[in-house]
Amino acid sequence: MAVVAAVIVAVLAISMSINYFGPDGEPGPGPTGALDGPVDDLVNCVPLNLVSSDEKTPTLHELAERYRNSGRGIDGRCVDVNVVTGHSGTVGDALAAGGKWDVQDVPQPDVWSPSSSVWIERLRSLIQARPGEVRLPDSAKVPSVTRTPVVIAMPEPMARALGWPEAKIGWQDLVALAKDPAGWGAKGHPEWGSFKLGKTNPHSSTTGLHAMVATVSALLGGVPLTVEALGDPRVIEDARALETAAVHYGASVSPFIQNLYKYQAESEDQGLSYVSAIALEEQVVWQYNRGQLVGVQDPKPPPRTKLAAIYPHEGTMLSDNPYAILDAPWVDATKRRAAEAFLGYLHEPEQKALFLDAGFRDEEDKAGEELKKDPGLIAEPGYKQVPAPDTAVTEAVRELWDRVRKPASVLIVIDVSGSMKNTVEGAGKSRLRLAQEAARPAVDSLARTDEVGLWAFSSPLGDDRDPWRVPVPLGPVTGNATRYKTEVDKLRAEGDTALYATTRAAVNALRERSSADRINGVVLLSDGANRYIRDNDLKQLLTDLDPENTDNPVRVFTIAYGDESDEATLTGIAQASRGVAYNARDPRAIRAVIQDVLSNF
C-alpha cells in the first residue's frame, strides 16, 4: 500500500465546515466544529469502535493510527479508533435484533461502514418494522468515505477468449457460457472445462448482492427493476442457469481470492480450472494483481496469472462505503463527537488521497494514478451504473436468489473424540455441547431442495470396524431435518481422533452420489490431531482429496475447533479439496463460524 506522509496538525481553536458526499454523490451535511485540538492527553483516548467491510479495513486502520498520533482529537483527548472487519449482513442483522451482542470477534459498533448503503437502508427498514435500541441518522446524514464499482473479474486468458479488452462483455455473456454444455470449448478452450462462477451469498455479502441486482437488471433488458418484474419466467430461468455455474458461495470474497492465488501459483492450469469469473470490487482486483489478498495481512508476490476487470456493458453497481454513526445506548455524546471528528479527518485531501492510493475512487468516480497503471483495469471505463434499488426490491432480489441458487448436498461430520468433553473456559459447557448447540440449527439455513447428512467420528468403539458412525445418511432436508436435530443432541464424546480415515470416507461417500448440478460439500469439525495409527498418511490423504474432475468436486469445509486443533492439517485438507478452511479456536465462537460455513451453500 502506498504511503502518504502523515500530516501533523495542532489546532488551537478551529471551527470547521466540511463538504461530505452522500450515496448519490451530492454534497451532504457533515459535522461542524468537530475537531478541537490540540490534544493534551495522549494516553486516555476516547475509544471508538468502527466496524467496516473487509476491503477497506487496512486503509481505515492506517488512517486510524495516523489520527490517533496526529495531535488532534476532541476535548483535549486523542481518539483511539478500533477498526474491525464485520460481514455486512451479519452485522446488520445483529444490530436489528438488539439484545446480547454475539458477533464473533466484532465489538458493538459505534460507527458502521459496510461496503454499500443498501445495508444501511435494509437496517433502517428492519428497525422501522421492529423498533429497538439502535436508530440510524437520516440517509442524507450518512456520507460516503470512498467508492469502488463491482466488476466481473476473470483470469486474463479467459477474458481474452471472450474478446477483452476490446469487446463489450456483460452478465448475459456469463449466462450464455453457463448454459452452453460445451463450456469453454465453445470459445476454443475445451481444456478449461465448464464455466465456473465465484459468487458470494447475497444475504451476507455486498458483492453477492450487487452482482445479483446487476444480473437481473441486465436480464430485464431495460425494463425497470421492480418486485413485479422479478417474476418474469425468462428472468428466473436465466438467473437459475447462471447460478448452476457457482462453485460455492460464502460470506466473503476472501476464500475465492486466496484459493485462486494458491492454485495459480501451482500452475496456470490449476488456477484456470478453479474458477472462471468472480464478482469482485474493482479495488480488490487491483490489490490482487499486486499480491495483496483481501483478508491476508502480509503481501505476496504478484500472481503469475493476473485478473482482468470486466465492466459489464449492461451496467453494474457501485459500492459507496457509507459511514453511519449509530444512535444506540452505548454511543454517548463523547463517542458521537469522536466519530464526527474522525469522519472530518477522513474527508480531508491528504486522507482521501490514501484511499486513491489503495485502489479506490473519489466522490466523482475518478481513479487515482496507481489504479490507472494496472493494465488489467480500465480506470476510466465510462461504465453504466445500476441505481441501488429500494429495500423492497432488494429483498425481492434476495428471495429470487433463494429460489434459483444452486442446491447443495452437505455432509456434516463432527469430531466426538474424548477431548470434546473438555469444559470451555468462560462458557461452563463442554466443547461438544457448544458444537451441538451451534450445529443443531444449522439445518434451518439450508433450502428445501438441499440434502443433509450427519456423521460422527472418533475411533472404533465396541464391535465397530470403522471409526465413524452415520446417525443420519445423506438425504433431502425435508425428510432429514427433524432426525438430524435429534441425532445431533444424542452425540457423546469418547475415543481418539481418526481424522484422516473419516475425511477420506466422507468424501468418497459423497463422491458416489455427487452431481454437477449441486454444490457437494463435507463440513468437517475437529478439535484435535489425527490419533488413528491405521491411517496416518497425510500426504496420501491430500492426494486422494484432490478432485480428478474439477467440474464436479467434493469440497471439504474444515473448522479448526479449540486451541488443540490441528489447524495446519485442516487447512491443507480444505485446500486440497478446493474447499475453505475456518477457524474457531475460541469454541465460544462456534455458532458464528458454522453460520459462515453454511453461507457457502
Please determine, for residue 437, whether its predicted confidence score (pLDDT) is greater than 50: yes
Which residues in 296-387 belong to E strands, given as ranges?
307-310, 318-319, 324-325
Question: What crossing angle do the helices spanning 233-243 and 171-179 adopt, rounded to 10°?
Answer: 70
What per-residue confidence (pLDDT) applies to 24?
44
Residue 409 corresponds to which cell in the numbers above? Answer: 448436498
What per-residue confidence (pLDDT) applies to 105?
75
Confidence of residue 130 (pLDDT cuts 50, 70, 90): confident
Q: In Å, what is the CA distance from 185 to each residue of 152, 193, 237, 275, 388? A: 20, 7, 23, 15, 36
What per-residue confidence (pLDDT) applies to 551?
78
Closest C-alpha among 396, 196, 207 to residue 276: 196
Q: Rounded to whole angstroms, how far apart are CA atoms 49 and 589?
A: 20
CB of 600 closer than 8 Å to CB of 557? yes
Give just the sign of the alpha carbon dihedral 312, 142, 120, 109.
positive
Q: Rounded to whole angstroms, how far apart are CA atoms 123 and 436?
A: 30
Q: Maximum Cα–Cα distance for the chain, whole Å? A: 81
Among all chains, which residue has been given the C-alpha cell 443498501?
Answer: 118
CB of 140 closer than 8 Å to CB of 29? yes
Q: In Å, what is the CA distance from 139 to each residue of 144, 324, 506? A: 11, 9, 50
End-to-end CA distance of the chain: 34
DSSP state of 299: -
Confidence of residue 222 (pLDDT cuts 50, 70, 90): confident
Q: Are strands 468-476 and 423-424 parallel, antiparallel or unpaired?
A: unpaired
pLDDT digits (tens, 9 = 90+) for 268-304: 989 999 999 999 999 999 999 999 999 898 999 999 9
Residue 591 corresponds to which cell in the numbers above? Answer: 455458532
Please determine, for residue 3, whether its predicted confidence score (pLDDT) is greater than 70: no
Q: Which domains does the chain have, with CATH numbers?
A: 20-143+322-359 (3.40.190.10), 148-318+376-401 (3.40.190.10), 407-598 (3.40.50.410)
Q: Rounded to whole angstroms, how far apart are CA atoms 525 and 574?
A: 12
What per-residue confidence (pLDDT) applies to 133?
87
Please determine, for residue 37, whether its predicted confidence score (pLDDT) is greater than 70: no
Confidence of residue 452 (pLDDT cuts 50, 70, 90): very high
pTM of the model: 0.89
Among all chains, which residue has been given the C-alpha cell 427493476?
Answer: 225
Residue 429 corresponds to which cell in the numbers above? Answer: 459447557
Averaged pLDDT, 491-499: 97
Please determine, for residue 360, whether its predicted confidence score (pLDDT) is greater than 70: yes
The alpha carbon of residue 491 and the mean position of all alpha carbons in its chain are separated, in whole angstroms, by: 31
- Mean of the per-residue pLDDT values for the chain? 91
What per-residue confidence (pLDDT) applies to 16?
33
Q: In Å, what is the CA distance from 472 to each residue of 378, 459, 461, 586? A: 52, 18, 18, 28
What per-residue confidence (pLDDT) applies to 39?
82
Q: What is the DSSP string of 471-494?
A: EEEEEEHHHHHHHHHHHHHH----
Please determine, for residue 357, whether its predicted confidence score (pLDDT) is greater than 50: yes
Q: In Å, what is the CA distance from 67 to each residue of 63, 210, 302, 346, 388? A: 6, 32, 31, 9, 32
Please determine, for residue 216, whether its predicted confidence score (pLDDT) is greater than 60: yes
Q: What is the DSSP string of 100-137?
A: S---TT-PPPSEEE-S-HHHHHHHHHHHHHS--S-B--
Residue 408 corresponds to which cell in the numbers above? Answer: 447443495
What per-residue confidence (pLDDT) applies to 31?
41
pLDDT digits (tens, 9 = 90+) for 236-259: 999 999 999 999 999 999 999 999
Rg (the chain; Cα; Å): 25
